[in-house]
Amino acid sequence: MCGGSPPAAFEFYIGGSAGPSLYVRLADGRLLYEWASAGGYSGVVTEASPAPEEWGRFREAVDRLGVREWEQEYVSAHSCCDVTYWHLRMEMDGWNTVVRGANAYPGSDGPEISKQFWEFLAAVKHLIGREP
C-alpha cells in the first residue's frame, strides 16, 4: 500500500444529548480528537499522528464508501428525542463537502446506522488510533 497525505481540511463530529461523542479535526496539520459523554465536552484534546499509510487507507475508504456522493443532509422522521447528530466537513484533492445528519445516515432508509456509515466511522477511529 502506498502512502497518502492528509486532506486539506477534515472535521468530523458524532454525538448527541446522551451517550458518547467524538470530535476529530485537522488544525494546522495536526489531527486532534476529543471524546466526551452525555453531550458535553471533556476538555481533553488528544493529538493523533497517522502515518502516510494510514492516511492512504483513509483516502481509500472515502473512495470505496462513496463519501463524495453523500447528500448534504440526512434527517430522519425519528429525530425527535435521543438524537444522534453527526457532521462531516472535508476538502481533499480539489473536492470539498459539508454533510450532516440527525438519526439518519447515507445508505440507510431508517434511523439505523448503515454499514457504509459504520465503515466510515471505523476508518475515522482507525485514523486516530482507536480501533472500532
Cell of 95: 473536492
**Residue 16: what pLDDT?**
80
Place of cell 443532509: 73
- Percent pLDDT > 90 in the chain is 63
Coil, helix or strand at residue 84: strand
Smallest CA-to-CA distance from 54 within 120, 116, 2, 117 is with 2
Coil, helix or strand at residue 124: helix
**Residue 2: what pLDDT?**
57
Place of cell 453527526: 86
**Residue 37: what pLDDT?**
73
pTM of the model: 0.89
* pLDDT tens column, 88-114: 999 999 999 999 998 899 999 777 889
| Element (DSSP H or E) covering residue 12 | strand 9-16
Smallest CA-to-CA distance from 58 within 126, 116, 114 is with 126
* pLDDT tens column, 112-123: 889 999 999 999
**Structural domains in the chain?**
9-127 (3.30.1560.10)
**Residue 43: what pLDDT?**
72
**Residue 46: what pLDDT?**
92
CB-facing half-sphere around the CA of 62: CA atoms within 13 A:
22
Instruction: Show the low-confidence residues of the chain (pLDDT under 70).
Output: 1-3, 38-42, 78-81, 131-132
Coil, helix or strand at residue 86: strand
What is the per-residue DSSP string for 29-56?
TEEEEEEEETTS--S--EEE---HHHHH
